[in-house]
Structures are given as structure tokens and as C-alpha cells.
Amino acid sequence: MSRTRTALLAAMALVAGATGTAIAAVPGDAGAAAVPCTVDYKVQNQWDTGFTASVTITNNSAAKSSWSLKWSYAGNQKVTSGWNAKVSQSGANVTAANESYNGTLATGGSASFGFQGTYSGSNAVPATFTLDGVTCNVDSGGPTDPTDPTDPPAGNRVNNPYTGAKVYVNPEWSEKAAAEAGGSRIANQPTGVWLDRTAAINGVNGGMSLRDHLDEALRQKGSGELVIQLVIYNLPGRDCAALASNGELGPTEIDKYKTQYIDPIKAILGDSKYASLRIVTTVEIDSLPNLVTNVTPRATATPNCDVMKANGNYVKGVGYALNKLGDVPNVYNYVDAGHHGWLGWDDNFGASADMFKQAATAEGATVADVHGFIANTANYSALKEDNFSISDNVAGKSVRESKWVDWNRYTDELSYAQALRNQLVSIGFDSGIGMLIDTSRNGWGGANRPTGPGATTSVDTYVDGGRYDRRINPGNWCNQAGAGLGERPQASPAAGIDAYVWMKPPGESDGSSKAIDNDEGKGFDRMCDPTYTGNPRNNNNMSGALPDAPISGHWFSAQFQELMKNAYPPLS
């Protein structure tokens, strides 16, 4: 669980400045400005024997080129690892010194770092902090900025928001599903609410606004617990490698993203009216992985992704979203983590984890603002391939050598998500992070679902004959023919997995089969054209897409029927 506490020291009569000059602290705003530094220390997550904390220093004295913050614990807390600062401990005394890249502290400037520790008994917040030997007061805002009226009061997060909670059923999606023949069988399933443009905050074309959804979530909640799932999806230069889901903001419009999109969402989520909801955010799907796999010198590079890596606006945007939304005590941020058929290779896996860490420590965010990660969002990768494993050898060759696996380390989403979680913890993310897996379209049932391994004639016949995922290539992502609904949403289904979710609402198109004019900024991607013969990202195979699809996000009846027909577990 997360626990946040800050304390404001009593107004000090005299505070020694960095130069030894006495600075008088006076009541009101003038006194707050006169103290040489403030420290905001937050216990972000806490469990039986451990915790993570984030610390923000604000320097109100002369500019610094380096800094060192010290405090002492009253209990037996021990720091075990840190990030964005060199954190060391001797007895009860802790010192956090700047890294080479964040030593500059301008007058009025701030620096943030975080750490993980252990404790037993109580875990009290330190009473006093000194910055370069000068005593600081402690910001009274808790996890909030006292000058920001949109910040909510402090609260506690649970380890897994899905445990013991219902999950929000989107009435707009439910109505469309129920109107389809046979759709009533799944119309009561929870799906994500996609905020895929600024206008979605207030409702598009008479549709439900974010507040409307939150109000309806309160109604569905009743006296119990309820999770509402929101997809935060509007980065500048969005989806640089997939034209079908390009967004409204140009590559340089990071300020619009911050002030016109994230800030209004935070203001709404921070309304105390919604404090009893568990709000899960899926932060910017298909963004950060592109900065690893689709940039120069990769053969899969695109000019748009090169631009977004160079200008840093994906990293800045994700960091800003995590920082701001993470301030809301009942928000649980899950960062998109691609899928095994994208990031499972040796040269993608670790580099992607490092990219996630870079974004999670940008724009004032810390790893403590990340509650977990989500895999397979809006994709089709099978949850678990039972008929072959990565360690199998057939006809003198490893499964990794098959054309389908193609030297990947993972064959399915469950093994990938669990391994990625371990990798993320190893580089500084909280050991309590959980994974979500989107199972909305990865069931691969129907008549073509294999019941056992393929023939052992060759490694390819073995894998191709036994695999559940019937795509032509795992790089195919648009409106896949033969796909089916997957496992129904459920909490804590496997070790390290917080939930299986239907974040992508089944029946909503991935992109149009041909160019269609629209006012949503969405382009035409040939991967959505069933006649397309492919590119390096799918090893130049056919796209496998369904014909006659509308633009992304619009209702696609033929896809919905396909998903129900091929559902696994089957629909009754």
C-alpha cells in the first residue's frame, strides 16, 4: 500500500542561509519564500517490510551546481537502492547527493529523486532535512502542490486495484455490443474508456464526457469498490510508426499536450467527488517502444519516429502524464509495454525497459508514479502457447530458430509480461509493481485452434501446427482475420499479474482498409489493407487484415462478429 505524509515545521525565527547569513522567516507567503529550501518527502508505496519514497527538493537560496540532502531516521529504516541521486546510509543517517546530470539547482528550481527501503515496526517520516548543511522546512502539500487547487487530499493506494473490486462497464460500448446479434453475451464486460483526443474529455458528438463516465462509475460502484479504466492516448506525433492511429497533435505540440490535455484530465480526476473510485490509467500505448525499434539505424525505422526520438516529446509527455496523474491519490498509472512479438528479442527487451525508466523519471516523475505496466494493449498475441515452449528442440533445431518465433525469447504474453516485470524491478522500479495483459482479442479459438503440437517433421511444422496465434506474422496488428475474444477480465490470474483486462473495446476498428477523410487526424496505414504484401516490420508478409474496415476507434461490426465466433474460452 502507499502512504504519503508530509509535515510543515513550525515557522522558524531565524534560518541560517547557505552563506551563513541569517534569514528571517515571517508569516504568510513571504515566510514560505524566505526559507532557504523545502523538501517534499512522500512514501509512495508500502508493504509488510519495505517501501518506496520520492523526494523533491526546492532551492530558494542562491543557485547551486551540486547539492547534498541529509536526514536521519528515528526507526530502523534502511535504504536499499535509489535513482536520480546517489543515496548512502550510515546508521540512521542518510545522504542523497546529485547525479552528474541533475546537480544544477537554480534559485526557485527543484530536483527529484527516489529510493527503495526496508523497515519493521513504524515507518515515520524524518523530522528534519538539511540541504548542504542548511535546515529546510518540509512542504505542507503532501503529494500535492499547495498552490494548485486541482490537487486532491492525500489517500492510500492498494497493492492491486482490481482485487475485491468491480470494473466499470462503459455504457456506450455496452449498447453497441448488445445491438449486435449474440452481443448480449458479452455486453456486460468491462472495457477501457479511450481519451484519444482533447475533445474526448468533454465528450465527442454528444457522447459521454470524462465526468459523465466517472459519475456513471460512482453509480455502478454502489457501496463496494470499483475500478474505472482510462486510456491516456494523445501524445504529440502519436504512433509514429502506424499511420492509422496518428493523433491530433503535431510532433512539437508538447505544451498543448500538457496544458490542454493532461492538466484538464488531472483536474477532473482530482475532484474529491471521485476519491472513492480506483482510477486505472493506461499511459500512452505504442509510444515509447517505437523509440527503440523504429528509429535509425534499424531497418524498421521511420522518419516520424526519428523525429520523436530527437525532440524527446514522447519521453517528456509520458513523464509529465505520470507526474501529474500520479499526484492524484486514487489514480494507478500503468505504462504501455508493447507485446512479446514486438519487444521480446534480446536487442529490444532490455533497451525498452531502460526507455520506460527514462520516461518514468522525466518531467518531475519518479518510478513511484508507476503502479505497473500493461502488455498487449489492442494487440493479438496469445496469452499462453501450450503446445510448444522456447526450450523445445525439434529435428535438430531450437524453437527459437523457427520462422514464427524468429529468435525471440518469448512465445506468448504471459511469459513476456512476467519476465519484463522482473527486468523492470531489477533497474529500479518498485518490487510491488503489477502487470496487466489485454486479452480482448487474443483468444484465437474457433475451428482452427490446434489441440496439440504440430508435426515434428521440422521445427516450422512443429511450431506452426501447434500455435494458437494464427496470424501470418506476429508483426501484423490491424483488424486481424480469425482473431477471437480472449480470457474474460479477472483479477490476480497469475504471479505478478494484477489483472487480465479488455482495455481495447472489442469491435472498435484498428484502422481503415482504405484512405477515408476524417477530422480526427487519423491516416491510412497499408497494414490495414488486406491486399498489402507487407514491410520489414512484419517480414514482408501479407497484412492479414479484415476488409472494409472504418477508421480506428469506429465500430466495426464484422470484426465484432469475428471475435465472438473465434472466442476462447468459447462463448456460451
Residues designated catalytic: 286, 510
Q: Are 483 and 546 in contact (CB under 8 A)?
A: no
- Terminal C-alpha separation, the chain: 38
Alpha carbon separation from 315 to 104, 168, 293, 308, 547 (Å, rounded) = 21, 30, 15, 9, 35
Alpha carbon separation from 429 to 1, 155, 222, 356, 426 (Å, rounded) = 15, 21, 34, 10, 7
Best CA proximity match to 500, nearest among 510, 480, 483, 486: 486
Neighbours of 147 (CB within 10 A): 9
Query: CA-CA distance, 359 to 354, in Å (whole number)?
Result: 9
State the sign of the Cα–Cα–Cα–Cα dihedral 381, 382, 383, 385: negative
CA atoms within 13 A on the CB side of 358: 17
Best CA proximity match to 92, nearest among 106, 75, 107: 75
Contacts of 571 (CB under 8 A, 6+ apart): 182, 185, 186, 485, 564
Q: Which helix (H) or strand (E) holds 355?
A: helix 346-360
Report helix, strand or coil for 52: strand
Query: CA-CA distance, 280 to 331, in Å (whole number)?
Result: 6
Contacts of 426 (CB under 8 A, 6+ apart): none
Cis status of the peptide bond prior to 569, with omega within 30 of 0: yes
Q: Are 109 and 132 in contact (CB under 8 A)?
A: no
Query: CA-CA distance, 365 to 321, in Å (whole number)?
Result: 8
Report helix, strand or coil for 40: strand
Q: Which helix (H) or strand (E) holds 352?
A: helix 346-360
Helical segments of 222-298, H only: 254-256, 263-269, 290-293
The burial of 27, by beta-carbon neighbours within 10 Å (0-12 exposed, 13-18 middle, 19 or more buried), is given as exposed
